[in-house]
Amino acid sequence: MEFAIVGLLALSIVLLLLSFFKRDSINELQEQVEELSMSHIQETYQLKKKISVLEEELLMSESTPFIQSSKSPSSSGPGLSSLDREKISSLFQGSLSPDQSVSKVDEEANFLEQIRLKGEQHE
């Protein structure tokens, strides 16, 4: 009986010592999660920045044809209604503040993205 108690006591001391030297995997996991979170935030920021640059380039490249089409209604494309031409020309003629223009463009971009996604789902 004494032999079993001494053996169990020795085993518990060995296991206790081993537990101190074992690597803590939870801390490693926390560091990995934090690293992934930061990289995700950075990628999201970069993508938003690229999207805003592309939207500006798109608006700049399309601004001249839309303004010209609003001056001559017979040369407008089949997809542009008079309401669309008015919206676009109001953005470029400065009737809205820059913040309002940006919010309008964001709304239109979100709307177009939803339409594109619905079209991809139906294909």
- Residue 44 domain-assigned (yes or no): yes
Give the mean pLDDT of 37-49. 94
Give the mean pLDDT of 14-32. 86
- Residue 39 domain-assigned (yes or no): yes
- Residue 110 domain-assigned (yes or no): no
- Residue 52 domain-assigned (yes or no): yes
Ranges of H-type helices in the chain: 2-21, 25-71, 82-93, 98-122
Number of domains within the chain: 1
Residue 101: both structure tokens together: 């223009």
Residue 22: both structure tokens together: 């074992």
CA dihedral for 44, 47, 51, 52, sign (positive or negative): positive
Q: Residue 84: what pLDDT?
A: 64
- Residue 85 domain-assigned (yes or no): yes
- Residue 2 domain-assigned (yes or no): no
- Give me the domain span that covers residue 57: 27-72+79-96
If one compares 32 and 21, the residue with the highest pLDDT of the two is 32
Residue pLDDT, tens place only, 91-110: 666 666 767 777 777 787 78
Q: Residue 75: what pLDDT?
A: 44
List the single range of 34-48, 76-90, 94-108 with lowest mean pLDDT. Answer: 76-90
pLDDT above 70: percentage of residues in the chain: 70
- Residue 43 domain-assigned (yes or no): yes
Q: Residue 68: what pLDDT?
A: 47
- Residue 90 domain-assigned (yes or no): yes
Residue 40 CA to residue 113 CA, distance in Å, equals 22
